Structure 1
């Protein structure tokens, strides 16, 4: 019971201001530039979302319906994938890098075009690397490494054709901090 109460308080305590502290403006700008540079090398789209804590409705489902927290976090990441329209790319090759600070949780959500090519083991390995960096307090290192690994997968499977005009940027490049 104490663990559940502590978890709920942690989620209510951490908010967008904590996400902005974890990713201050200078880091957000560096990440934006890295996403933009990455997207010059492939036809995919990458979004980064860092959230302080879960909304009350997700916490309520965890407590009332006893939905395991990892499942709740995954559902939230899927919702952000949808809200940020990462699924809405021409080649179905968008990827969301989602970090939930209150749980030190990381989710990589990929659209079907790239997901089937990388597979669950590939995404889990990338998330594990990011998770280690975040747990060690190295947010920038973790997000940069995750972006590089996601970019490598997109370049391998959806490279930007040589000689083509600059790729169309279908989604904003800046990180979402909530």
Structure 2
């Protein structure tokens, strides 16, 4: 484990979540997910975490590993067509991880998800948190619409409201 990462997580204040993702941004994210899900049968979850707790840091949990844990904890894998996608943001590491369930992952290469995540990270580095989040949701929604287009009315299987961890 690197000392710089440990210090970054230990001093990263949890209230930064609300500074970077205020209520109006959370509402915009919710509405973007809702609108996106009108165009496809997939499910999108958005989760943001300020920093990791000390035990996770001591175990050297990577942002990817934490994203996989959150994916499982939120049940994003538990959709009818296995086409749930988690957009996970770890602010202290300045990292975005996109975790896609097997139904959509078999159609979309890992590099496509990584490209979306890198574009979001770039916007976040410039302080454009709402813009980056909405662009990421639009890009994920576009991939879901291509491979799981809407067909009539589909159930909203996962909450649209972004989760602050």
Which structure: larger Rg?
Answer: 1
TM-score, L = length of structure 2: 0.94
2:80 corresponding residue in structure 1 = 90
Moved over 4 A (4+): none
Moved more, 11-20 or 42-51: 11-20
Query: Which consecutive residues of structure 1, in runs of 5 or more, have no partner in the other structure?
Result: 63-70
1:144 corresponding residue in structure 2 = 134
- Please state how far the C-alpha of 1:120 moved relative to its aligned partner: 1.0
Higher helix share: 1
CA 15–82 in structure 1, closer or farther in 2 if over 3 Å, else same? farther
> Aligned runs of 1:14-163 on 2, under 5 Å?
14-62=12-60, 72-161=62-151
Question: Equivalents in 2 of 1:147, 1:78: separation in Å?
Answer: 18
TM-score, L = length of structure 1: 0.88
1:68 corresponding residue in structure 2 = none
After superposition, give the CA deviation of every residue in 1:21-75 in whole Å (9 maximum; x if it has no partner): 211001101110110111111111001111100122220112xxxxxxxx61111
Query: Which consecutive residues of structure 2, in runs of 5 or more, have no partner in the other structure?
Result: none
- Please state how far the C-alpha of 1:15 moved relative to its aligned partner: 4.7
Question: Equivalents in 2 of 1:106, 1:39: separation in Å?
Answer: 21
1:5 corresponding residue in structure 2 = 3
2:162 corresponding residue in structure 1 = 175
Question: Equivalents in 1 of 2:44, 2:115: separation in Å?
Answer: 18
Q: Quote the RMSD (CA, aligned, Å).
A: 1.5
Question: Equivalents in 2 of 1:167, 1:57: separation in Å?
Answer: 40
Number of matched pairs: 165
Question: Equivalents in 2 of 1:57, 1:40: separation in Å?
Answer: 40
